[in-house]
Amino acid sequence: MPLVRMKGITKHFGGIVANKDISVDLIPGEVHALLGENGAGKSTLISILSGMCHPDGGEIHIDGEVARIHSPQDAIARGIGTLYQHFMLWESLTVAENIVLGSEGHAVVLRLQEVVDRINHLSRNYGLNVDPNAYIWQLTVGAQQRVELIRILFHQADIIILDEPTAVLGPQEVGSLGEILKSLAAEGKTILFVTHKLDEVMRFSHQVTVLRDGRNVGTFRTDQVKPEQIAILMVGHQVPSAINTTHPLGPTVLEVSTLSALNARGLPALKQVSFTVRAGEILGVGGVEGNGQEELASIITGLWKSQSGTVTLNGVDITNASPSFIARVMGYIPSDRVGTGLIPRLSLALNTTLRSQARRSGVDRWLLDLKAIRRRAQDLIATYRVHPSDPDLPAHQLSGGNQQRLLIGREVSLDRRLIIAAQPTRGLDIDATYQVHQLFVDLSFKQVAILVVSTDLEELLKICHRILILSRGEIAGTIDPDTTDRTAIGLLLAGQKGDPRAV
C-alpha cells in the first residue's frame, strides 16, 4: 500500500514542459530511485512534492487523502523532509544550534541539552555518526549532509526526499549514505532519491523510476531490471564506458613546487605540494573533499593566495598572479557552478562572455555588441548542446547539467593550453558525463594540459594519465590508472579517514 501517490503531475515553465502527467507511487519501507537525463524534470518533481513550486495539474495523495502542499511548511507538516543539494546550515554554529534554529515556528521551546540528547539518540539509531557539539565548519561535506538528515529526522519526517545526495560524496561516503538510507527504509520510512549513478540505483534502491523529457517512461522493481536497460531507457542509446587515453605527452606546462597555503580559517590547507602537468596530460587530483583540493585549484587560478612555494606556467612564474592575468592564460571550471562559474540571473548570452576578452567577442570594445554576443552564444549553445537553447533565458532556468555544459563549453572555447576543472561532471547525467570525458580526452590529444579535481575516483581512473591523492593537504600517493592495482588503490584510500576535520 503506497504512502505517497503522485497522480498525473504536470508542470510548465513558460513554453517548457518540465513534468508531463507523471504518476509515481512511493511505498513505506522502500527506497525509490529517480533517474533521468539532465533536464528530465527530476528536481521539478521533487520541488512540487516538497512545496517549493505548484503543479499546473495532477494530485498528490498522502495516506489515501488528497494533500494540498502549497509551501515548504505544508510539506513538513505532512511529514515530508527534503534534503536539497545546497545545504542550509550556519557554518559558525554547532550542529545542535543549527537544528534548534531550524525548528523555529514549532510551538515547543526546545532546550539545547534536550536537542543534544535527541541528536545523539538519532545518530546512534541510524548510524549517522554526528557530534551535536561540532561546529558546521569543522565537518566534511558528507558529515554536513548527515546533519541535514538528522534535521529531517528531528522533525519526524516519514517521507524523505533527497536531490542528488551522492554527487558531492567520495566513494566510501556514498557507500555509507546508501546503508543509512536502507536502514531508514527498514525502519518504515519512505525514501525518494535522485541520482545519476546506475550502480547506486542497483545497490540501494527497491524501485526505480526513469524520467525522460518530463514523462515517466518506466517504473521497475530494481531486482528485475539490468542497468543497461535503464541506461537505454534514459538516454535512448548505449553509452560507451571506456575511453582511449594513450598518446605521447609534450613538455611540462604547469609546475607546482613545494606549495603551502592556509585555508579560509587560517588552518594549513596545503603542505609542500609538488607536481607537474605536461602538455597533453590529464592529471587527476582525488581524495575526500576538504583535504586541500579546492585551495589548490583556487591558488593556481589566482583566486586564493599561497604562503610559500611556486606555480609556473610554461616556465613563467605565475605564483599568486592576479585573477585578471590568470583569466587570460588558462581555462577554469570551478566547482561552484552557480555563484562563481555562472551568474544565475544573467542571460545565457551574457554568461558566455564572462571570461572572454577575445577580439570580436562582443565585449572587447567600450560598448557591448549585443548581436555578436548573441551570435557567439548561439554557436556555443549548439556546439555543447545546451537545452533549452534560447540565449536570452536567465541561467538559473537551466537544469544543473545544462548549466555545466554551458560553463564547460565557455571555458573550452577560450582555447587555452591549460584547463583546470573542479568536479567537472558533478550532477551530469551518464551521457553528458561521457561527453565531457570524451571532450577532455580529445583536448589532451591536441596537447592541452588538463588538471581535474574530482571526488569521483572512477571518473579519474577513466580519463587521467596520473592521479594524485590529497590527504590533509599532502600528496598521500600517486596512482597510475593502467598499472596500479585495485588493492593498492583501496589501501591508499583506506589510509584516509572519512572525516579528516571532524573533532
Partner 1 sequence: MLFSFEETSDPKPSLSRRLATLLLSLVFALVIGAVFMLSVGVDPPTTYLTMLSGAFGSSYSLSETLVKATPLSFLALAVLLPSAAQFWNVGAEGQYAMGAFAGTGISLFVAPSLPPGLVIPIMLVAAFAMGAVWGVIPALLKTFFKANEILTTLMMNYIAAYWLDYLVYTAWKDPNGFGFPGTAVFPADAWIPQIFGRMHVGFFLVLALAVVIWVVMGRSRFGFELKVMRESLKSAYYSGFPVARNIVIAMVVSGGAAALAGLFEIAGIDHRLQAGFLMKYGFTALIIAWMARLNPLAVIPVAILYAGLSTGADQLQLSMGLPSSIATVLMGIILVVILGSQVLQRYRVTLTVGGKLWTLPS
Residue selected from 398, 407, 412, 460 as contacting ligand ATP according to rule CB under 6 A: 398
Question: C-alpha cell of 488?
Answer: 593498492
Q: Which residues pair with 254 in a beta bridge?
A: 277, 313
The size of the interface with partner 1 (CB under 8 A), counted in residues, is 40
Among the listed ranges 41-49, 167-175, 205-213, 376-384, the one in contact with Mg ion (CB under 5 A) is: 41-49
Interface residue with ligand ATP, options 397, 413, 447, 478 (CB under 6 A): 397
Q: Do 145 and 83 form a contact (C-beta atoms < 8 A)?
A: yes
Long-range contacts of 26-29 (CB under 8 A, 24+ apart): 26/2, 26/159, 26/190, 26/191, 26/192, 27/1, 27/2, 27/3, 27/190, 27/206, 27/207, 28/1, 28/3, 28/158, 28/188, 28/189, 28/190, 29/185, 29/186, 29/188, 29/189, 29/190
Among partner 1, Mg ion, ligand ATP, none, what binds residue 345 when CB lies within 5 to 8 Å by partner kind?
A: partner 1
431 forms bridges with which residues in the sheet?
A: none
202 binds, among ligand ATP, partner 1, Mg ion, none (CB under 5 to 8 A by kind): none
Q: What residues between 18 and 77 interact with partner 1 by CB under 8 A? A: 53-54, 68, 70-71
Find which of ligand ATP, partner 1, Mg ion, none residue 77 binds, CB within 5 to 8 Å per kind: none
User: Which of ligand ATP, partner 1, Mg ion, none does 36 bind, CB closer than 5 to 8 A by kind?
Assistant: ligand ATP
Among 18, 20, 32, 43, binds Mg ion (CB under 5 A): 43
Q: How many residues does the chain have?
A: 503
Residue 284 interacts with partner 1 (CB under 8 A)? no
Strand ranges, E, within 93-213 = 159-162, 190-194, 207-212
Q: Give the residue with the Cβ less far from Mg ion, 46 or 457.
A: 46
Q: How far is CA 22 from CA 60, 316, 359, in A?
A: 11, 57, 48
User: Which one of 35-43, 381-389, 413-421, 437-445 is the stretch in contact with Mg ion (CB under 5 A)?
Assistant: 35-43
Asked if 94 touches Mg ion (CB under 5 A), the answer is no
In the bound state with Mg ion, the residue whose beta carbon lies nearer, of 43 and 195, is 43
Spell out, one character per residue from 386 to 425, where the chain touches partner 1: x when CB under 8 A holds, - when not: --------x--x----------------------------
The item of partner 1, ligand ATP, Mg ion, none sharing an interface with residue 193, based on CB under 5 to 8 Å by kind, is: none
The one of ligand ATP, Mg ion, partner 1, none whose footprint includes residue 367, by CB under 5 to 8 A per kind, is: partner 1
Ranges of beta strands (E only) in 202-354 are: 207-212, 215-221, 252-262, 268-278, 282-286, 308-313, 316-317, 331-333
Peptide bond into 268 cis (omega under 30): no
With CB under 5 to 8 Å by kind, the binding choice for 401 among ligand ATP, partner 1, Mg ion, none is: ligand ATP
Cβ(393)–Cβ(378) below 8 Å: no
CA angle 492, 167, 178 (to 5 degrees): 75
355 belongs to the binding site for partner 1 (CB under 8 A): yes
Contact present, 247 and 444 (Cβ < 8 Å): yes
- Of the candidate residues 26, 39, 147, 282, the single one contacting ligand ATP (CB under 6 A): 39
Burial class, 371, CB count within 10 angstroms (exposed 0-12 / middle 13-18 / buried 19+):
exposed
Residue 253: which of 352, 176, 330, 180 has the closest Cα?
A: 330
* Binder of residue 365, out of partner 1, Mg ion, ligand ATP, none (CB less than 5 to 8 A by kind): partner 1
Binding at 18: pick from Mg ion, ligand ATP, partner 1, none (beta carbon under 5-8 Å per type): ligand ATP
Residue choice 165, 401, 477, 481 for contact with ligand ATP (CB under 6 A): 401
Question: How, if at all, do strands 308-313 and 316-317 pair?
Answer: antiparallel
Looking at residue 71, the DSSP 8-state letter turns out to be S
The residues with which 471 forms a beta bridge, in sequence order, are 474
- Shortest Å, Cβ 153 to ligand ATP: 25
8 Å CB contact between 341 and 327: no
113 binds, among ligand ATP, partner 1, Mg ion, none (CB under 5 to 8 A by kind): none
What is the binding site for partner 1 (CB under 8 A)?
Answer: 13-14, 53-54, 68, 70-71, 301, 303, 322-328, 332, 334, 336, 339-346, 350, 353-355, 357, 363, 365-368, 370, 394, 397
What is the binding site for ligand ATP (CB under 6 A)?
Answer: 13, 16, 18, 36, 38-44, 388, 397-401, 427, 429
